[in-house]
Amino acid sequence: MNVAFIGLGNMGSAIARNLIGAGHALTVYNRTRSRAEALESLGAKVAATPAEAAANAEALFTMLADDRAVEAVMFAPGNAIQGLRAGAIHVSMSTISVALSGRLAEAHREREQHYVAATVFGRPDAAAAAKLFVVVAGPPEQIQFCQPLFDAVGQRTFVVAEDAPAANVIKLAGNFLISATIEGLAEAIALVRKHGIDQNAFLDFLKGSFFSAPVYRNYLSMLAADKFEPAGFKLPLGFKDNRLLLSAAEAVAVPMPLASLVHDRFVAAMAQGLSESDWAAIGRITYRDAGLKRDT
């Protein structure tokens, strides 16, 4: 399949490599051109602009940091939506606002193009191993057409709705649950440590009983070591997702007090210089509130 891929950060690069490995012909674009050129040796063609990348694509993937980056790629003069031919599909993997997802669906509809939201769960190592969970919403025929692409990058695809923004709601809700899990684990570890209990015994219990899923094991290890660098998912990106969640909740009058608490953890962490750390570093704020030092 002829595929265009825009956005080659840690996640995007790994996903693009897996699409190439599955035999698809990729044209790639990235604002920092060197990231795109790194894929040339694998057979990717490097485009000079988003419109050039999209021009011959049957499916255009975007994996960008936030709403502003997606808007710049898709809506600025001469960008991807103008290059994409009628009948082609835009597959948005970016974690963006529900409102922007709806705007994209309408814009593509007006140009007789198709739009599918395909949000993903998993860190860069999971992306590299093609073990992502892909949450997809959009027209059934277009999802079916793209299924081989999803199979190339993920271990399972969940089709949730025909209305594309539904996948974005689920992505925000899922990331909220992860951030709330990080907060809960950090509070529990702080309690155990302040009572003088060996935290490793507590961790062995958690990992060997009810909290053995990968999401618990990964973050328990980070929180126990109080080590959040290098970041797999930088803290400001987690903060962005939290703000999008609260906006989506406000739009439908859903109180989310725990999300508001996590919001303040993100703000405190950034205020204390942790913007280059993994988003799990909100746990360090919990430890500091409990009077625990890093060398405890």
What are the catalytic residues?
Answer: 171
User: Are 277 and 234 within 8 A, CB to CB?
Assistant: yes
Token readout for 28 is: 């790639």
98: left (phi over 0), alpha (psi -120 to 50) or beta: alpha
Shortest CA distance to 93 belongs to which of 35, 7, 187, 191? Answer: 7
SS3 of 122-177: CCHHHHHCCCEEEEEECCHHHHHHHHHHHHHHEEEEEEEECCCHHHHHHHHHHHHH
Shortest CA distance to 173 belongs to which of 126, 241, 235? Answer: 241
Task: Assign 119 to helix, strand or coil.
Answer: strand
